[in-house]
A and B are shown apart, each in its own frame.
Chain A
Amino acid sequence: EPEVTQTPSHQVTQMGQEVILRCVPISNHLYFYWYRQILGQKVEFLVSFYNNEISEKSEIFDDQFSVERPDGSNFTLKIRSTKLEDSAMYFCASQGTSTDTQYFGPGTRLTVL
Protein backbone atom coordinates (compact mmCIF):
# COMPACT_ATOMS: atom_id res chain seq x y z
CA GLU A 1 0.00 0.00 0.00
CA PRO A 2 1.38 3.44 -0.88
CA GLU A 3 2.52 5.53 2.06
CA VAL A 4 3.92 8.94 2.88
CA THR A 5 7.58 8.88 3.91
CA GLN A 6 9.58 11.49 5.80
CA THR A 7 13.28 12.02 6.34
CA PRO A 8 15.08 12.30 8.63
CA SER A 9 13.22 10.62 11.45
CA HIS A 10 15.08 12.74 13.98
CA GLN A 11 16.99 16.00 13.46
CA VAL A 12 19.01 17.80 16.07
CA THR A 13 20.14 21.34 15.31
CA GLN A 14 21.53 24.42 17.01
CA MET A 15 19.37 27.49 17.49
CA GLY A 16 19.68 29.82 14.54
CA GLN A 17 20.52 27.09 12.04
CA GLU A 18 18.48 26.30 8.96
CA VAL A 19 16.78 22.93 8.66
CA ILE A 20 15.00 21.24 5.80
CA LEU A 21 12.50 18.51 6.50
CA ARG A 22 11.69 16.22 3.61
CA CYS A 23 8.56 14.37 2.66
CA VAL A 24 7.67 12.08 -0.21
CA PRO A 25 3.88 12.16 -0.62
CA ILE A 26 1.84 9.37 -2.18
CA SER A 27 2.62 9.52 -5.88
CA ASN A 28 -0.73 10.54 -7.41
CA HIS A 29 -1.70 12.96 -4.64
CA LEU A 30 -1.94 16.67 -5.38
CA TYR A 31 -2.69 18.25 -1.98
CA PHE A 32 0.10 18.47 0.59
CA TYR A 33 0.17 19.57 4.19
CA TRP A 34 2.54 20.13 7.09
CA TYR A 35 1.48 19.84 10.71
CA ARG A 36 3.45 19.94 13.92
CA GLN A 37 2.98 18.58 17.41
CA ILE A 38 4.87 20.12 20.28
CA LEU A 39 5.38 17.58 23.04
CA GLY A 40 2.22 17.25 25.11
CA GLN A 41 0.18 19.54 22.85
CA LYS A 42 -2.28 19.26 19.98
CA VAL A 43 -1.37 18.49 16.41
CA GLU A 44 -1.42 21.92 14.73
CA PHE A 45 -1.86 22.82 11.08
CA LEU A 46 1.00 24.76 9.51
CA VAL A 47 0.41 24.99 5.78
CA SER A 48 -1.34 23.45 2.81
CA PHE A 49 0.03 23.40 -0.73
CA TYR A 50 -1.64 22.77 -4.07
CA ASN A 51 -0.71 23.47 -7.66
CA ASN A 52 2.73 24.73 -6.65
CA GLU A 53 1.50 27.36 -4.28
CA ILE A 54 0.41 27.76 -0.69
CA SER A 55 -3.36 27.48 -0.41
CA GLU A 56 -3.62 28.16 3.32
CA LYS A 57 -1.26 28.84 6.21
CA SER A 58 -1.62 29.27 9.93
CA GLU A 59 -0.33 32.05 12.14
CA ILE A 60 2.54 29.77 13.11
CA PHE A 61 3.78 29.72 9.52
CA ASP A 62 5.66 33.01 9.55
CA ASP A 63 8.48 34.30 7.34
CA GLN A 64 10.90 31.82 8.91
CA PHE A 65 9.03 28.95 7.27
CA SER A 66 8.81 28.02 3.61
CA VAL A 67 7.63 25.06 1.60
CA GLU A 68 8.66 23.80 -1.77
CA ARG A 69 8.00 21.00 -4.18
CA PRO A 70 11.39 21.00 -5.91
CA ASP A 71 10.67 18.02 -8.16
CA GLY A 72 7.84 15.65 -8.91
CA SER A 73 8.20 13.63 -5.74
CA ASN A 74 9.53 15.65 -2.79
CA PHE A 75 7.75 18.19 -0.61
CA THR A 76 9.97 20.11 1.80
CA LEU A 77 9.56 22.34 4.82
CA LYS A 78 12.38 24.78 5.51
CA ILE A 79 12.90 26.66 8.74
CA ARG A 80 15.43 29.43 8.08
CA SER A 81 16.59 30.24 11.58
CA THR A 82 15.42 27.74 14.14
CA LYS A 83 14.25 28.73 17.61
CA LEU A 84 14.01 26.62 20.72
CA GLU A 85 10.22 26.70 20.41
CA ASP A 86 10.41 25.04 16.98
CA SER A 87 11.25 21.77 18.72
CA ALA A 88 8.38 19.46 17.82
CA MET A 89 7.31 16.49 15.76
CA TYR A 90 6.58 17.59 12.19
CA PHE A 91 4.10 15.57 10.14
CA CYS A 92 3.65 15.69 6.41
CA ALA A 93 0.32 14.62 4.88
CA SER A 94 -0.96 14.20 1.36
CA GLN A 95 -4.40 13.88 -0.18
CA GLY A 96 -5.58 12.80 -3.59
CA THR A 97 -8.31 14.39 -5.68
CA SER A 98 -10.60 11.38 -5.34
CA THR A 99 -10.36 11.01 -1.57
CA ASP A 100 -11.40 13.07 1.43
CA THR A 101 -8.66 11.60 3.59
CA GLN A 102 -5.25 13.00 4.43
CA TYR A 103 -2.56 10.35 4.74
CA PHE A 104 0.19 11.08 7.23
CA GLY A 105 3.85 10.26 7.29
CA PRO A 106 5.64 8.94 10.38
CA GLY A 107 6.97 12.37 11.31
CA THR A 108 10.32 14.05 11.87
CA ARG A 109 11.26 14.87 15.42
CA LEU A 110 13.10 18.21 15.42
CA THR A 111 15.14 19.10 18.47
CA VAL A 112 16.57 22.62 18.65
CA LEU A 113 19.34 23.12 21.21
Chain B
Amino acid sequence: AQSVTQLGSHVSVSEGALVLLRCNYSSSVPPYLFWYVQYPNQGLQLLLKYTSAATLVKGINGFEAEFKKSETSFHLTKPSAHMSDAAEYFCAVSGRAGGTSYGKLTFGQGTILTVHP
Protein backbone atom coordinates (compact mmCIF):
# COMPACT_ATOMS: atom_id res chain seq x y z
CA ALA B 1 0.00 0.00 0.00
CA GLN B 2 1.17 3.51 -0.72
CA SER B 3 0.23 6.96 0.47
CA VAL B 4 1.46 10.52 0.13
CA THR B 5 1.08 13.42 2.51
CA GLN B 6 1.75 16.98 1.47
CA LEU B 7 2.11 19.30 4.41
CA GLY B 8 0.37 22.58 3.76
CA SER B 9 -2.44 22.94 1.27
CA HIS B 10 -1.40 26.55 0.62
CA VAL B 11 2.09 28.06 0.59
CA SER B 12 2.72 31.75 -0.01
CA VAL B 13 6.13 33.23 -0.78
CA SER B 14 7.52 36.49 -2.05
CA GLU B 15 9.12 36.69 -5.45
CA GLY B 16 12.80 35.80 -5.07
CA ALA B 17 12.27 33.84 -1.86
CA LEU B 18 12.97 30.16 -1.30
CA VAL B 19 10.20 27.75 -2.22
CA LEU B 20 9.82 24.63 -0.06
CA LEU B 21 6.93 22.24 -0.64
CA ARG B 22 6.85 19.23 1.64
CA CYS B 23 6.03 15.66 0.70
CA ASN B 24 6.19 12.51 2.81
CA TYR B 25 5.39 9.11 1.44
CA SER B 26 4.65 5.62 2.61
CA SER B 27 5.38 2.63 0.42
CA SER B 28 5.75 -1.09 1.03
CA VAL B 29 8.05 -1.42 -2.00
CA PRO B 30 10.90 0.78 -3.25
CA PRO B 31 9.15 3.86 -4.55
CA TYR B 32 9.26 5.93 -7.65
CA LEU B 33 8.48 9.52 -6.65
CA PHE B 34 7.21 12.33 -8.81
CA TRP B 35 6.33 15.99 -8.60
CA TYR B 36 3.73 17.27 -11.04
CA VAL B 37 2.60 20.86 -11.54
CA GLN B 38 -0.84 21.99 -12.63
CA TYR B 39 -1.34 25.48 -13.98
CA PRO B 40 -4.88 26.87 -14.08
CA ASN B 41 -7.06 25.10 -16.64
CA GLN B 42 -4.25 22.82 -17.71
CA GLY B 43 -3.29 19.20 -17.16
CA LEU B 44 -0.57 17.73 -14.97
CA GLN B 45 2.97 18.40 -16.13
CA LEU B 46 5.93 16.44 -14.82
CA LEU B 47 8.42 18.61 -12.90
CA LEU B 48 10.87 15.92 -11.81
CA LYS B 49 11.12 12.31 -10.69
CA TYR B 50 13.16 10.00 -8.48
CA THR B 51 13.71 6.50 -9.82
CA SER B 52 16.56 5.14 -7.65
CA ALA B 53 19.47 6.92 -9.29
CA ALA B 54 20.76 10.13 -7.68
CA THR B 55 18.91 11.14 -4.53
CA LEU B 56 19.07 14.82 -5.47
CA VAL B 57 16.94 15.26 -8.54
CA LYS B 58 16.84 18.35 -10.73
CA GLY B 59 13.78 19.19 -12.76
CA ILE B 60 12.43 21.85 -15.03
CA ASN B 61 12.10 25.55 -14.19
CA GLY B 62 14.86 25.44 -11.55
CA PHE B 63 13.11 23.03 -9.20
CA GLU B 64 14.85 20.19 -7.41
CA ALA B 65 13.94 17.57 -4.84
CA GLU B 66 15.89 15.31 -2.53
CA PHE B 67 14.90 11.73 -1.75
CA LYS B 68 15.55 10.95 1.92
CA LYS B 69 14.74 7.34 2.66
CA SER B 70 15.34 7.68 6.41
CA GLU B 71 12.77 10.48 6.59
CA THR B 72 10.48 9.03 3.87
CA SER B 73 10.47 12.49 2.32
CA PHE B 74 10.75 14.01 -1.12
CA HIS B 75 10.51 17.75 -0.57
CA LEU B 76 10.47 20.13 -3.53
CA THR B 77 12.60 23.28 -3.47
CA LYS B 78 13.49 26.22 -5.63
CA PRO B 79 16.03 28.82 -4.48
CA SER B 80 14.24 31.85 -5.90
CA ALA B 81 10.51 32.00 -6.64
CA HIS B 82 9.19 33.58 -9.79
CA MET B 83 5.68 34.85 -10.40
CA SER B 84 5.24 32.20 -13.08
CA ASP B 85 5.71 29.46 -10.45
CA ALA B 86 2.23 30.14 -9.07
CA ALA B 87 0.36 26.86 -9.57
CA GLU B 88 -0.76 23.73 -7.75
CA TYR B 89 1.91 21.11 -7.07
CA PHE B 90 1.28 17.42 -6.58
CA CYS B 91 3.60 14.82 -5.13
CA ALA B 92 2.95 11.24 -6.25
CA VAL B 93 4.34 7.78 -5.57
CA SER B 94 4.35 4.68 -7.70
CA GLY B 95 5.37 1.25 -6.53
CA ARG B 96 7.80 -0.89 -8.46
CA ALA B 97 7.32 -4.38 -7.13
CA GLY B 98 9.02 -6.88 -9.36
CA GLY B 99 11.15 -4.20 -10.94
CA THR B 100 8.36 -2.79 -13.04
CA SER B 101 7.70 0.92 -13.23
CA TYR B 102 4.16 0.53 -14.48
CA GLY B 103 1.24 1.00 -12.21
CA LYS B 104 -1.00 3.51 -10.59
CA LEU B 105 0.18 6.77 -9.15
CA THR B 106 -0.98 7.69 -5.67
CA PHE B 107 -1.17 11.45 -5.25
CA GLY B 108 -0.97 13.79 -2.33
CA GLN B 109 -3.69 16.35 -1.84
CA GLY B 110 -1.77 19.09 -3.60
CA THR B 111 -0.20 22.37 -2.50
CA ILE B 112 -1.22 25.67 -4.03
CA LEU B 113 1.77 27.97 -4.35
CA THR B 114 1.12 31.70 -4.40
CA VAL B 115 3.94 34.09 -5.28
CA HIS B 116 3.66 37.71 -4.18
CA PRO B 117 5.50 40.53 -5.96
Contact = CB atoms under 8 A, between A and B. Distances in A.
Interface of A: 4, 6, 31, 33, 35, 41-45, 48, 50, 55-56, 58, 91, 93, 95, 99-107
Given A42-B109, A45-B104, A48-B103, A91 B44 contact: yes
B43 A91 contact: yes
Interface residues of B, number: 23
A106 to B, nearest CB: 4
Contacts of B110: 42-43
Contacts, number: 54
In this complex, which of B34, B51, B103, B106 has the most chain A Cβ atoms within 10 angstroms of its Cβ?
A: B103
A64 to B, nearest CB: 20
Interface of B: 32, 34, 36, 42-46, 49, 51, 90, 92, 94, 101-110
A18 B59 CA distance: 40
B49 A103 contact: no
B104 A43 contact: no
A101 B34 contact: yes
Contacts of A58: 104
Nearest to A9: B41
Given A93-B44, A100-B32, A106-B42, 14 more contacts: A4-B43, A33-B104, A42-B108, A42-B110, A43-B90, A48-B103, A56-B103, A56-B104, A58-B104, A91-B44, A99-B101, A100-B94, A104-B43, A107-B43
